Structure 1
Amino acid sequence: MAGGNHSSVTEFVLLGFTDLQELLFGIFLLMYITMLVGNLGMIVLIRTNPQLQVPMYFFLCHLSFLDICYSSSIMPKLLSGLLAERNVISFNGCITQFFFFVVLGTTEAVLLAVMAYDRYVAIHEPLHYLVAMPRGVCVQLVVGSYAAGSLNALVHTIGLLQLSFCGPNLINHFYCEMPPLLLLSCSDTRLNKVVMVICVGFIITISVLAIVVSYTCILLTIWSIRSAEGRHKAFSTCTSHLMAVALFYGSAAFLYFHPFSRYTEDQGKTASIFYTTVTPMLNPFIYSLRNKEVRSTLRRAMNKVFCGYSHRSRSNQTKAGITCHGGVSRRNKADT
C-alpha cells in the first residue's frame, strides 16, 4: 500500500462483455427480474405467514434481502453498460460499488454459516429449538454477520484508497472488483494482495469450518434416528442449504484464491457471474422447491389469491345481471 492516494484517474471504463451485448442484455435482464421476483416473493411469504415465524425462516428472509441488495449493487450498472457505447464509472462510484459489494458478500458468507448452526440446533434439539434460538439471539447473529461484512469491506476499501492509479483506466470486468483493480494500480500492491488473501481466507475458513462442524454433528444426529422416514425428513431440510453453500463458496473461492500469476479477466468474470447473478437468482427456488413447509405455504397463498380473484369475478358477473347455471350464462329475469 502506498502512503496515500495520488491517482490521476478520475473514472474507469468497465469493458464488461464485448460480444453479443444485446443477447446478453436480454439474458441478464431476465435473470435480474427473476431474482427480484423470487427473493421479494420469499420475503413477503415469510413475513406474512405465522407458520413461518421460526428462526430458520428469519435467517432465510435476511438471505433473500441480502441477495436482492447484493445483486442490485452490480446488475443495474451491468445492464446499462450493455446498452451504452462506453460504460464509464467514476473513481468514487467504483470505490463505493466495491465497498457495498464486499459488505453484502461477506455478510452473506457469514450468514450461511449461521444458518448451518441453526439447522444443527433444529435437528439436534427439536423440542427445545425455539428456546435455544430465541428472537434476541437470532437478531444478534444477523447483526454480527453485518458487522463482519462491514469490517472486511472497510479494511479492503482503505487499502484501495492508499493506491495510485495512473492509467490505463480500462477494467476488463463488469463491476469494480479487487483483482482487476489491483492489476491497474501503479503502486506496489503486494501488501493489498496479502491482506486480501488473509481476510478472505479467514472468513471462508471460519465459515466453512462452522458449516462442516455443524453438518458433521447433523449427520451424527441423523444417523442415530431409527426411523428411515425420520432420517430422510431431517436430511431433506439441509440439502437446500448445502446447495446454496456450494454455489456461493465454490465460485468465491475460485476467484479469490486463484493465483494472480495465472489470473485472467475472463475467468474472473465467469466466476463472478455465478455468485453475483446465478446464486442470488437460484436461492429462492432452491429453498422453496426443496422445503415442504415453504411449498405448502406458497400453495395456500396462491389458492387464496386465486379464490379471491374467482370470487371477485363472480361478484362482477352478478352485478352485471349474469348468473351461470350448468356452464351456460343467462340474464337475470329482472333484465327481461
Structure 2
Amino acid sequence: MAELVEQGVARVAEKMMANAPDGWTEAVLVSTGGLFGFGISGQYTIAGAEQRPIHPSGIFQDLDDVTAAVGAARGWECTRLEIRCRPSGEFTLVASRDTVSRLHGERPGFVTVLDHGYRLSQPGFAQEEGTAAPAGDPDLTIARFRAYLERRTAILGHAEKLPPPVTTAALDDAERRLGRPLPADLRALYLIADGSGDEALGLFGNLGWMPLARLVAANAGLREPVWPGWESSWDSVVLDADPLDTIRRCHGHPGWLPFATADDGNYLAVDMSPARAGRPGQVIQIGRDYYDGPLYVCDSVTSLLARYLELLEQDAYEVEEDDVDYIDFVEGPREPGSEPELRTCD
C-alpha cells in the first residue's frame, strides 16, 4: 500500500512540476476526499511572492486514487492530503484525517468532528413496548383483497396475473430469519400470492408488493441504516410519531418489515415492535426520504385495503398507460396533527 501511495504522489508531483509557470519556487496542492465528494485546491508561489492557482486537469484521477487508498488504509471517513513540491524535484506528502468539513445546503457552515466513532442516540430502542392487540383480520383481509382485485379488473379491463402463493413452510422459514412473526393479515396475503409480480403494478398505493424473499432481504438491509457521515447527520433528529407514541423514535428497527416499494429506497412496512400507543402490524412508511423518522399510515394491512377500496369507489385514481397499464392513486397528504385517514377503517 505504501509503495502504491508513493508512486501515485510521484505522478501527481511530476504533473504539477510539468505545468508550473516560469519562476515558480514552490507548489502546494491540497485535496479532501470522503463520503460526499472530492475537492482540490492549490497554488504555485513565484519569486516575489506572487501566487497562481494550480489547475487539476491531468492529476485529478491520480490524486483521487491516492486519497482513497490512504483513507481506506487508515479507516478515515474524510482524508486530507497536502502535497508540496519544488523545482529541484523534491516533494513531500502530509496525510491527515480531516476533522473540519464544509456544510452545504440550507444551513451552510463548517462542522468539526473530534470523535468520528460517536453516533447520535436512537431513543426509540428504549421506548415502552405497545401491548395492544393487533388490529388486522386475516379473513377480512382476504375478502377485501379479492374485492380490490375485482375492482381493479373492472377498471383496467383485464385481470392482473399474480405470482403463485408461497407455502406455509416458506412463511415459517421467513419468520425464523426475520426473528419475529409477520402480522396475520399480511401472512394471509402471501398465501394468495408471492407479491404483485410484473403485471399488478402499484398494487399497494402506487408501490409494488415485494416477494417474501425480498421482504426478508430488505429487512436485513434496513435494520441498521448506513451511516451517511457527519456532514449530513450532525443535526439529525428523529421526531415523535403522529399520533404520538405509535412508532419508535429511530431511523431503523428489526421489527419494521418492509413489504412494498417503488424501488426508490422508500417502503411501506408493517411495524411488529410498536411504541406504547401503537399496535403490532400497523403500517408505516420508512426509508431514504424519511429523515425525521417513520410516518404512521394505519393500524393494519386490513385497514389499508379498506382505504384503497374507498379510493377506487371515490374515483380518486388515474389509469396510467405504459407497457402494462396500472392504477395511480391520487391522494394528498393529511394535515399535520390530524387523525390519520386510515386509522379507523373497518
**Greater C-alpha radius of gyration:** 2
Structure showing greater relative contact order (alpha-carbon pairs closer than 8 Å, 6 or more residues apart): 1
TM-score by structure 1 length? 0.23
Q: Which structure has more helix as a fraction of its residues? A: 1
Q: Which structure has more strand as a fraction of its residues? A: 2
